Structure 1
């Protein structure tokens, strides 16, 4: 078992409030393996963009973090993706969401890096249904995730990055931001998606 929680830990939260925070979600060995994988591919991180495919743009006024999309090149990645697939199945069975797939990337925030308030579901492309964030380390300062109340400037919850903590929330419902990092912050950002394409064409990832 690579997880330390069952569906009862998050299903009630999601049904009641649309998000959940699961502390110590994964066994320490898997978290350590994911951190080691981050260091392995560290030279290949690239500046993150906003938008998808042909609409992808780099805008350092919006975000300055670096990312590396999972490519299945390590056992740690494959194990994490298998866990997310299991959660996807549970969400579909419990809420009839029709979730189709899961995509994710490593995210690295170094001193001063941030991601301003935004929604993860792109305009005209609302196929991202659920956002996930898994923290891989515990910075002493900075890099907090701020989730806002729906359609409001009021803060719903502020989450301090803590290794092994998994956060999940509805992508279209909750705007959120990452406050400027002070210490290095590593995480995995991911999305459960619906297939919103037409004519039988499958939505491309990212």
Structure 2
């Protein structure tokens, strides 16, 4: 990673999660890793599938709610393997500092065509086992800020915007899955990212 002191980066993330509950990091991963992920995503484009909403019996495709296409990440490609290893190191570091009981990490590429969006939603609901921390890593070299496509985080009461994050390449967002309604605004150009979740086990 770019940081000369990974432990200080992990301290910064843990402090933010214990405080406001979210953090936006500009370039925490190596540029070489970001470049490798972009190449892998470009190779994955033919197998991307429309994303759905809901789980199991409630699962459905509805582009009026979300319009991205996805492909789940699996170890194999060197960049993907390195990224998943980085996230596992982060998982262990967060557990050591905050005792959250994170036990695994899942992630997928998310590709939004121009005009596509994801309506306001939560990644998890209070008291339910499963997703505890959400992550978004952006893979958009030379992103034009006037193109839109921001991630907007709202407070738990869903009344106030807390952050509006442009999808600039290498930027990483981490937030508590239960606490922050959020949405993805439409953009005028293709928008690439990795969406991921650290999960906890059911009691």
Deviations 1:135-175 (A, max 9, x none): 11143112100000111221011001111111000000000
Shift of residue 124, structure 1, vs aligned partner: 7.7
TM-score (ref. length: structure 2): 0.91
Correspondence for 1:149: 155
Structure 1 unpaired stretches of 5+: 199-206
TM-score (ref. length: structure 1): 0.90
Deviations 1:101-131 (A, max 9, x none): 1000000011001000000015884410000
Shift of residue 53, structure 1, vs aligned partner: 3.4
Alignment partners' CA distance in 2, 1:77 and 1:3: 18
Q: How many pairs does the alignment contain?
A: 196
Alignment partners' CA distance in 2, 1:106 and 1:93: 28
Structure 2 unpaired stretches of 5+: none
* C-alpha contact (below 8 Å) 2:16/2:23 kept by paired residues: yes
- State the Cα RMSD in Å: 1.6
1:132 aligns with 2:135: yes
What is the SS of the residue equivalent to 1:93? helix
The one of 106, 111, 130 aligned to 1:108: 111
* C-alpha contact (below 8 Å) 1:48/1:65 kept by paired residues: yes
